[in-house]
Amino acid sequence: MKKLLLIFIGLAVSVSAWAQTPRVDSVAVMILNHMSDIIGDLNSCSFKLATSADVVDFDYGTIKHTGTDEVSMVGPDKMLVHSYGNYGHEGFWYNGEKVDYYSFSENNYATLEAQPDILSTIASINQDYSIEFPAADFFYPTFTDDILSQYSSILYAGMKDIEGQQCFHIIVSNPQQSVQFWIANNAYSLPEKFVITYKNQENRQYEATFSDWKLNPEIPESVFEFLPPPNANRISLLPVTIK
């Protein structure tokens, strides 16, 4: 999808045996570039993302937080995200002019200032409110260049099976973190799964699995318009940054 972005979290995962030896595998770079080019050529898409994250709990130690995100986008300025997880059911509607946030669990909503396109809008919301969007880095046009600049080891680890789909397994690593990618070995070369391990945080992990990819679907513009439900309370989200 041309110049689309869905911010997820900075890339990371751990393969300590390789982390200390800088290596860049040209096969891995070629696969990442091919995936990025295909995503960059999309006009619209939708997908689901099932996530699992290690979180430190004061009473129980490290526990798993799980969630599901449903994402629909039409470039360059339409996006809808439904998130289901530990904060209940939340939605974000971006119609090119504004972003509406709604908590289904609490029946309250807020309207946020938007930028002219998806990429800059999500970057702005992430900076101002620390709101992260699922799998964003895959939609950066500079995806492979960002990997090359942030990770000293970029390796192709062979073919692996992910729920019946043969995938290219790629591992990138630096001293603080590493990431494993599984990219489908088919005509579309889309990401199937990624795992992030934070070496400097007791090897805590974030795992996400893609499903239900739809490429260039026809999505009505009305999908991206938010209508507050009856009796919903309008609230203000406080920015975490001071301009």
| For range 171-199, the mean pLDDT | 96
CA pair distance 89, 82, nearest whole angstrom: 7
pLDDT in tens, 84-96: 998 799 999 999 9
Q: Which residues pair with 7 in a beta bridge?
A: none
* pLDDT, the chain, mean: 89
233-234/108-113 β-pairing: parallel
Q: What are phi and psi of 217, to 5 degrees?
A: -75, 155
List all residues 6 or more positions away from 215 whose beta carbon is below 8 Å from its beta carbon. 42, 44, 45, 188
Domain boundaries, the chain: 16-234
| For range 189-198, the mean pLDDT | 96
**pLDDT at res. 240:** 85
Are 186 and 35 contacting, i.e. CB atoms less than 8 angstroms apart?
no
- Residue carrying structure tokens 């893609």: 210
Phi-psi region of 198 (alpha: psi -120 to 50; beta: other; left: phi over 0): beta
**pLDDT at res. 62:** 85
pLDDT in tens, 140-169: 899 999 999 999 999 999 999 998 999 999
CATH ID of 16-234, from 1.20.140.10, 3.90.1560.10, 2.50.20.10, 3.20.20.70: 2.50.20.10
pLDDT in tens, 89-136: 999 999 999 999 999 999 999 999 999 999 899 999 999 998 888 888
Q: What is the pTM of this model?
A: 0.86
